[in-house]
Amino acid sequence: MSNEKLHNRTETKTRLVNGAWLFAHTLLWHGKEFNEAEIEIAKQQIEECIIHPSLLVSREKFIMFCERVLLAHQYLQRNESRFVPHPLKWLSPHFEHGYAGTKAWYLDMVHERKYIVVHRFELKVFAESYYLFMQKPCRESFQKALQALKTYADETLIQQFNNLIINHTYNN
């Protein structure tokens, strides 16, 4: 493999791992600050979730990660007394009440989509729109994402997407 291809893979992987961290941080820990070491460990944990064994970033795994974060976010929003623990705990593959615990929710949702294709489809549109924005972060991809979200999503999801893009633009 040429050095240029390896560099492009590494650059893409870094961009998407950073994007996945930003996604989770914005939706689950918005406004909370973490030190550099915590963020780096969290990104390593995220990398294990979205990187295919071939060392390629998997589009499907990235979108699945985002959908599972969205499911967790919506779970938290349904009851004020719920909270999400520290990212290093939540992202741990051994913590069944964190990211690992969203697997069953995600599989149920995917199963339902076999029968009702549009079941919770706004989550898929949100995650795919964010993935496309991360591939090419520009005004055009942002506008396309908003158009797609307006078709399926409520105002809350549109606002969350806007928050993500603001964080990407100004805090990245």
Mean pLDDT of 141-157: 87
Return the higher-pLDDT residue of 163 and 172.
163
Which residues have CB under 8 Å from 9's CB, separation 6+? Answer: 55, 56, 57
At 41-69, the pLDDT tens digits run 999 999 988 886 666 668 899 999 999 99
For the chain, the average pLDDT equals: 89
pLDDT for res 3: 67
What are residue 51's DSSP bridge partners? Answer: 57
Contact between 21 and 41 (Cβ < 8 Å): no
The structure tokens listed for 93 are: 């593959």
**Phi, psi of 51, deg, nearest 5:** -100, 130
The per-residue pLDDT for range 89-138, each reduced to its tens digit, is 999 999 999 999 999 999 999 999 999 878 888 999 999 999 999 989 99
Radius of gyration of the chain (CA): 16
